[in-house]
Structure 1
Amino acid sequence: MNRPLNWLLAGLLLIGLLGCGWKIWEQATAYERQTLAIIQQLQATSQLENSGRQLLEALSFGLYDGYSQQLADLNRQKALQAAYKASVNQLTALFLLNATLLLLVSWLPRRRSGDLGYAMLTVGIVALAVGLTTPILSVEVSKTLPVLGETVLQFQSKGILTTITGLWSNGNLWLALLLTLFSVVLPLLKTGVAWLTLFSRTHHLSLRGLHLSHHLGRWSMADVFVVAVLVAFFSNNGGGLTQAEVQAGLWFFALYVVLSLSGSQLISRQLRQLQLANALPT
């Protein structure tokens, strides 16, 4: 494959990757909004009103159908929620397919580890944008109550950026700053340092900066571990009141961590090879 055609194909795949990332954010946000709308109908106050409608509908022998309409509307909202979730899953699969093709197109022409590493960083930064802006975890506290039926007592859906803003607005400045440092600043700094080596591959500072960013970038995995612990805790809740669901943002953040670590390692290997080649006498 000639070089201009290879660049054109890589550019088209990158555009497709960005489009997938945008649609995933859009559908994941819509899924969160739809879930919140459903939760509002399952809260205690709404359930009490629905019980009144059900009683009135029974007493009026069907002349009043407010409860049936409310139930049908709830079923429609649940169907729409399921459609949004399916769309996120399908778009995620398409994102991974585009990412795989982009990595192959970047590596096959010259088969150099560095080319594959820079492609990994490119895919990783798109995954990071999705991971930071979409929800990573939702927690629901619900219980089946007499008369009211299934009732949601509390619901929270959080992403990394929304968690940072929430901590900041509640006065937890240090926690907000730490989360910003390890989840936003370090990943961007790590990727930026690695990309700078593309323009100065033989400079000794390039390898040192890449080596340092490689080790600092491992701290980004802390978010993934924290959410995993929370999911395990809520899933094993003895009373069965709390349910935790991992959202798309966590998977994309984890994908960024894996790609950035792997990409940095491949770039570091190529830089060492270049340094050794330049050090050999001619």
Structure 2
Amino acid sequence: MTKHLGFLLNIFAIGLFIPGITLPIFSLVMEANAHVGGTQITTEVINKELSLLGTINELWTKDRLLVAIALFIFSVAIPAIKAILVCAAYFITNTQLAKKILNVISAIGKWSMADVFVIAVFLAVLSTNHAETMNHQQFNLFSFQIKLAMSSETLSNVGNGFYYFFAYCILSLLASQLSQYAINKAK
């Protein structure tokens, strides 16, 4: 029964993984404002919603290869390999081979926790909600005194992809633990 539950949770985890990497994981909006006298001029500098795959692609195209590769390996490749191996262990009838596969998954699982760390650090860097800078300048132009206030505001939000990816991480970990428990119990 535990083996079946582990497999079922793995299937649900895969179902969460796909939107977790394709839906926006965060949004970032940056606006710049200028106040001259009583007039305000606002312009949007950045307005992005990126998924995990979109973020990897953008990092790759901007020649931030090491970060793109690390994010891909820890957040896409290792979780996909882990899910495939849990499915393979479920269908293998040879208990010893299934146990070896699950031991590999256990080793990979330690590395796949790096994906959670990478995403957490990435989102922490972007969590600059309402970070506003303000600069006041005063100058004279043709004997008129002009007051200029310039500001920028950055807003970031976690997208739905983050919640799917987080749920995937939890279910995937639970699925591999249940699968390993079932194989160890079947000795």
TM-score bucket (shorter structure): 0.7 to 0.9
Q: In the alignment, what sits opposite 2:125?
A: 230
Q: Give the match for residue 165 of structure 2.
A: 253
Conserved 8 A contact 1:135-1:248: yes
1:216 deviates by: 2.9
Partner of 2:81: 189
> For residue 166 of structure 1, what is the aligned residue in structure 2?
58
The gaps in structure 2 that reach 5 residues or longer are 134-151
* Local SS of the residue matching 1:241: strand
Measured after TM superposition, the shift of residue 123 of structure 1 is 1.0
| Matched residues, number | 163
Select the structure that is richer in helix. Answer: 1
Gaps of 5+ in 1: 1-111, 276-282
| Helix, strand or coil at the partner of 2:131 | coil
Tell me if structure 2 keeps the 8 A contact 1:137–1:246: yes
Between the aligned partners of 1:174 and 1:227, the Cα distance in structure 2 is 14
> How far apart in 2 are the matches of 1:170 and 1:217?
25
Alpha-carbon offset, residue 208 of structure 1:
3.0
Note the C-alpha offset of 1:165.
1.5
C-alpha separation in 2, matches of 1:151 and 1:168: 28
Larger relative contact order (Cα-Cα within 8 Å, sequence gap ≥ 6): 2
- TM-score calculated relative to the size of structure 1: 0.53
Percent identical among aligned pairs is 23
Give the aligned CA root-mean-square deviation in angstroms. Answer: 2.1
1:129 matched residue in structure 2: 18
Q: Which residue of 2 aligns with 1:264?
A: 176
What amino acid is aligned across from residue 136 of structure 1 in structure 2? I
Q: Could you say what secondary structure the match of 1:235 adopts? A: coil
Structure 1, residues 155-176: CA drift from partner, whole Å, max 9, x if none? 2322111122222222233322
3-state DSSP of counterpart to 2:186 = helix
- Cα 1:247–1:212 change in 2 (3 A) is same
